[in-house]
Amino acid sequence: MIGALLLYKLKSYLKREGNPWRVVLSIFLIINAVFYGFLFGTLTQLLESGTIENISKDDFIKYTLLLIFVITPGRMIFPGYKPLKQLFPKYYPLSITQRYAASLINDFLTPYFFYLSLFIVSGSLFANTPDSQFLVSGFLFMICAHLLRRCIQYMLDFSLKPSGVLMAFIILLILAFGLYNIDYWIFKPYVILTAAGLFFVMGWVQEWSIKESRLRKIRSTSLKTNLQLKLLFNNPKVKLPLLIGFSVKTGLLLLDFFLFRKNGVHLFNGQFVYWLFVPPLIYFTYVFNNIWAFWFNLWLNLQLRIGDYKAMIIQAFFLMLPLLIIDAVITLPILLLSWDDKTFILTFYFTTTFSMLLLSFLWSL
């Protein structure tokens, strides 16, 4: 099966490259990847020799690896969101492991990973370091970042059982706080390999959850919980704004956390602008303050069949609940570790969230 997949990808690639302009573009991108690898290697040698003193060699490699780790999962949002598709139809007689392995191999056989691998290899060669720390860590970071991306997309694109979603967010929290000790483990391949293995297992569990979800549908079990997630995450008008809002808020809070731990100061000096990102204000601004504009058909059905504002408020609450829970699970631990006054943090967060929830009911009606 894997051999047939590789052969198919090779044939499709050769067929695409029949266009002369695509050949020119491929050559241009290959030259660029090698050129950036050359720049990386040259800068690494200059830093090692002490010619450049603004930053250490280890810090330069660390920031490059972090850039790879951020850009790789960030591709699912920019330039446009691409849903995670199942490689094989449901009726194919393949085990979960075979489906998952084939899907991963298919993901890595793309131009992005080819050019990124070329950059990592050329950068390691031009750096001329005997320990090859960038070569090993670069590939491990690339694999780990893509596995993380798949885990996130499993939660967004498929209706997973609650245990699969909970497991995913627990591991994401561990990852976020593990970044605090990044100077300790970033050049230890076994730590990164362990993280990659953790994401691989989590992806396999999520793949299994997809199969179990389909079996539950066949058995006509209750889909009330899954229905809310479908309405929230399968709406293209909602998905991108929420993804952008989630990325911006989480990124700023993590940046503040690392800044506080390193320098003892908060982002925006902890003033008014900072506290705008503490509650889930960004989600209400993007979507929840005009919720029925995004789910017009649902609003129309409720109006025609029930015509009761109480039912609309309850439905709006259940539409907002999954994301509000996710936001609380991620935001509160970061804030509680960054600020000493935990009573104020909890009071401020829940009070503002509750107020925005009530106002959103009013503004949406």
Residues 298-317 have pLDDT tens digits of 777 777 777 667 777 887 88
Mean pLDDT of 76-104: 76
- Residue with the larger pLDDT of the pair 210 and 341: 341
Percent of the chain with pLDDT over 70: 76
Chain segment 24-66, per-residue pLDDT in tens: 888 899 999 999 999 998 998 888 887 887 888 888 888 888 8
DSSP string for residues in 136-191: HHHHHHHHHHHHHHHHHHHHHHS---HHHHHHHHHHHHHHHHHGGGHHHHTT-HHH
Least confident window among 87-96, 208-217, 335-344, 354-363: 208-217
What is the dihedral sign for C-alpha 30, 31, 37, 41? Answer: positive
pLDDT digits (tens, 9 = 90+) for 232-256: 667 777 777 888 888 888 888 888 8
Looking at residue 70, what is its pLDDT?
85
Q: How confident is the model at residue 113 (pLDDT cuts 50, 70, 90)?
A: very high
Q: What is the pLDDT of residues 9-22, one digit of tens each?
A: 666 655 665 667 77
- H helix intervals, the chain: 2-16, 20-49, 57-74, 96-108, 111-127, 133-157, 162-178, 182-185, 189-218, 224-233, 236-263, 272-276, 281-286, 291-294, 296-305, 309-338, 342-364
> Is the pLDDT score of 183 beyond 70?
no
Q: Average per-residue pLDDT in the chain? A: 77
φ, ψ (nearest 5 deg) of residue 221: -85, 175
Predicted local distance difference test score (pLDDT) of residue 221: 42
**What angle separates helix 309-338 from helix 296-305, to the nearest 10 degrees?**
140
* Residue 319's pLDDT band (cuts 50, 70, 90): confident
Distance of CA 22 to the CA centre of its chain: 30
- Mean pLDDT, residues 217-223: 44
Nearest-angstrom CA–CA distance, 250 and 252: 6
Out of 113-117, 134-138, 209-213, pick the least confident.
Answer: 209-213
Structure tokens at 309: 């504002």
CA distance 283 to 24: 43
pLDDT of 161 strictly over 70: no
Q: pTM value?
A: 0.55
- 360 contact partners, CB below 8 Å, separation of at least 6: 284, 288, 289, 291, 316, 320
